[in-house]
Amino acid sequence: MPSYLITGASRGIGLGYVRQLSVDQENVIFALVRDKKDSHELTALNTPNIHIVEADITDHQALKRVAEEVAQVTGGSLDVLINNAAYMRSPRGFMTLDEYTDPELLTADMNEMFNINVIGVVHTINAFLPLLKRGTTKKVVTLTSGLGVPAITLQSEMDIFGPYSASKAAINVIVAKYAVKFKPEGLLFVALSPGLVNTAPAGQQAPPEYMARWGKMLARFKELNPSFRGALSVENSVKRQIELINAATLEQAGTMLSVEF
């Protein structure tokens, strides 16, 4: 009975993982959310092999309590940890770094991105490492982005999403550090880019002045890849992500896998 823990499972890609993995009743799914009461789509699944657990990934004590809950269900092990929870949707995401008129606001955005997207992931990994070491599959997957790769930033000429991109560059290094440490023990750590995925709630749209920048970015993607047809659906992206996770081997430890789009 393979066991999976997915962070940020209340919506978007995280919820997509829960939906697809829980179809196989042999899988045991732990869906980690900050607040179960606000996770309406997740609770509506109401499937026996889904266990909803609560913690903020920046709260290491809460994560330890969740690890204890997981251990009680599985007998002390965990096969796959999927670090999906992340913060991106600041209304200032479409701004370039020099467009911040308030230095304190820039500092706040940078701190929030790193606290959730980097430090929170480190706390999550550390909390579940003892269980992963006793697992069978022994895979730790951390969702990342091509925006965190300098070469891709230069190629795509994307100067927006600065704080988010910096946090993803940092997490790519973190994944490599864990990979080096734990590869000899058979634990596989990889970063995984889900591709460009449409996770926006229905009807939600950025302000008009930012939509122009979004359009410019999509046009550049089309220029670089003529077969580009726009953002993937959550369903299609998650399906491909699961295929990559299942196929991943220790030879890929520390690398960034990517869904083509």
Active site residues: 145, 164, 168
CA–CA distances in Å: residue 62 to residues 2, 9, 32? 24, 16, 11
Candidates 123, 97, 126, 118; CA nearest to 172 is 118
Which two structure tokens, joined as six digits, stand for 118? 């980097």
